[in-house]
Amino acid sequence: MTTTDETATAAASGASATDRFRTDKSAYDAVKDVPEERVDLLAREVLNSIYDTIRRHKVTYDEYNALKAWLISVGEDGEWPLFLDVWVEHVVEEVATDHRKGNKGTIEGPYYVPNAPDAVDNTIPMRDDEPGTPLLWTGTITSVDGTPLPEGKIELWHADDDGLYSQFAPNIPEWNLRATFHTDADGKFEIHTMQPAPYQIPTDGSCGKLIAAAGWHAWRPAHLHVKVSAPGHELLTAQLYFPGDPHNDDDIADAVKPELILDPKPSGDGVTVDYSFVLDPEA
Ligand code: DHB
Ligand code: FE
């Protein structure tokens, strides 16, 4: 796929994910707005759970120093976004969206880029020889009361057939497999893209070292990322998965929910899928 010697590395995609997060001003600066009592409470409780673990398992100086060295390398590799989005974000998402009556969402992950251009002819930008299985996806965006939402918007981004994301791996056109789609007057949408492949989080950086040292695996099931929105409604961040993927049951990021698994049907040289979204009105 690549035409030069440059290859995707964890350090490169980790550093891109860190840079991307830093450009997201509202998220990066949010810490200024956390009240002192919350910082005091949360920092103390997190530290207390670390003390509990150390006491319970009689953590040694070797283990403490291994942790220190590893934490330093996570920062050097720019892998904090990867680490947090794989092992922490799913619980933050669960708590943040607990009140919803509409669609279940799931984690955003580290590879979202805002303001993807509008799709042309309902088709995501892709290379002439883009590998993979063509996917035609149709559906409707409605409000929880069933009203179709004609001003609905779907931002779609996903990995290619090699499990790589544009703007985070080298030698891929800037907006490859990233686009914004809009609903029609009846709230319906149509999306032409490629079915993504199962994805391994980068294994050659610090997160990979932890995975290897603990004897875990690095796989996420194949997934499509979406942000679904409409005026007056809560933004839905979700991922859609494919039935039969061996990692739907042991996703390293724990982000699969049964409601997010698609039901694709073979069609010509590809697959078609019908999947709709229900959005909660803003409170
Ligand atoms: C990571 C990558 C993803 O594509 C995703 O959806 C979640 C996490 C990661 O590498 O951290
Ligand atoms: Fe992803």
pLDDT bin (cut points 50, 70, 90) of residue 11 is: low
142, pLDDT greater than 80: yes
SS3 205: coil
1, pLDDT greater than 60: no
Ligand 1 pocket: which of 21, 86, 251 to mutate (most atoms within 8 A of CB): 86
User: What percent of the chain lies above the pLDDT cut of 90?
Assistant: 83
Output the residue whose Cα is nearest ligand 1's atom 10. Answer: 201
Output the residue whose Cα is nearest ligand 1's atom 8. Answer: 109
Provide the pLDDT for residue 5: 42
Mean pLDDT of 39-48: 97
User: What is the count of structural domains for the chain?
Assistant: 1
Nearest CA to 15 out of 69, 70, 73, 79 is that of 79
Is the CB of residue 258 less than 8 Å from the CB of residue 120? no
Q: How far is the CA of 217 from the centre of ligand 1 (A)?
A: 14
Output the residue whose Cα is nearest ligand 1's atom 3. Answer: 109
Output the residue whose Cα is nearest ligand 1's atom 1. Answer: 109
Ligand 1 pocket: which of 199, 206, 207, 239 to mutate (most atoms within 8 A of CB): 199
Mind listing the pLDDT tens digit for each residue in 219-257? 999 999 999 999 999 999 999 999 999 999 999 999 999
Question: Which residue did the predictor score with more confidence, 15 or 127?
Answer: 127
214, pLDDT greater than 70: yes
**Domain with 44 in it: what CATH number?**
2.60.130.10
Model pTM score: 0.92
106, pLDDT greater than 70: yes
- Residues 223 and 6: their CA atoms lie apart, in Å, by 25
| 90 alpha carbon, closest ligand | 1
pLDDT bin (cut points 50, 70, 90) of residue 198 is: confident
SS3 228: strand
Q: How far is the CA of 189 from the centre of ligand 2 (A)?
A: 22
pLDDT bin (cut points 50, 70, 90) of residue 157 is: very high
Contacts (Cβ under 8 Å, ≥6 apart) of 268:
134
Q: For ligand 1, which residues put their CB under 6 angstroms from it?
A: 82, 85-86, 109-111, 199, 201, 220, 253
Q: How far is the CA of 106 from the centre of ligand 2 (A)?
A: 11
SS3 1: coil
Nearest CA to 17 out of 78, 73, 89, 74 is that of 78
Q: How far is the CA of 199 from the centre of ligand 1 (A)?
A: 8
Q: How far is the CA of 240 from the centre of ligand 2 (A)?
A: 10
Give me the domain span that covers residue 195. 1-283
91, pLDDT greater than 90: yes
Is the CB of residue 225 less than 8 Å from the CB of residue 158? yes
- Residues 257 and 56: their CA atoms lie apart, in Å, by 33
Mean residue pLDDT across the chain: 93
Query: Rg of the Cα trace of the chain?
Result: 20
Q: How far is the CA of 82 from the centre of ligand 1 (A)?
A: 6
Of 25-34, 79-88, 111-120, 121-130, where does mean pLDDT reach its minimum? 25-34
Output the residue whose Cα is nearest ligand 1's atom 6. Answer: 109
Output the residue whose Cα is nearest ligand 1's atom 4. Answer: 109
Mind listing the pLDDT tens digit for each residue in 61-77? 999 999 999 999 999 99
